[in-house]
Amino acid sequence: SYELTQPPSVSVSPGQTASITCSGDKLGDRYVCWYQQKPGQSPVLIIYQDNKRASGIPERFSGSNSGNTATLTISGTQVMDESDYYCQAWDSSTVVFGGGTKLTVL
């Protein structure tokens, strides 16, 4: 089965750029989505089709996908961005999630 690998945690200072990676075999050949989840809340779609921002998502969030790695980039990271982030891709007609990355802003 297809697997997506994310770093368990990433730390960034406020105002700096955060990059969260998602790795999988030939991932660049598949579409990738990204979700943000805060404690006790449902996930929120932030990026779809590799690099399109979902409705209402700030411009500081961007995505890319090439080779074996997709990347979620948060420019000018704010304290409110501290969350868990999950990548997601398709394996044929099924869906696969990465294990999630906890972003700490401090």
Going by C-alpha positions, the residue among 49, 8, 4, 50 that lies closest to residue 25 is 4
Region from 9-17, 19-27, 72-80, 85-93 binding another protein, contact rule CB under 8 A? 85-93
What is the closest distance, in whole angstroms, from the C-beta atom of residue 103 to another protein in the complex?
A: 14
88 binds another protein (CB under 8 A): yes
Using only the alpha carbons of the chain, give its radius of gyration: 13
Region from 9-17, 18-26, 44-52, 70-78 binding another protein, contact rule CB under 8 A? 44-52
Neighbouring residues of 44: CB distance < 8 A, sequence distance ≥ 6: 35, 36, 37, 54
**Count of residues of this chain found to bind another protein when the rule CB under 8 A is applied:** 26
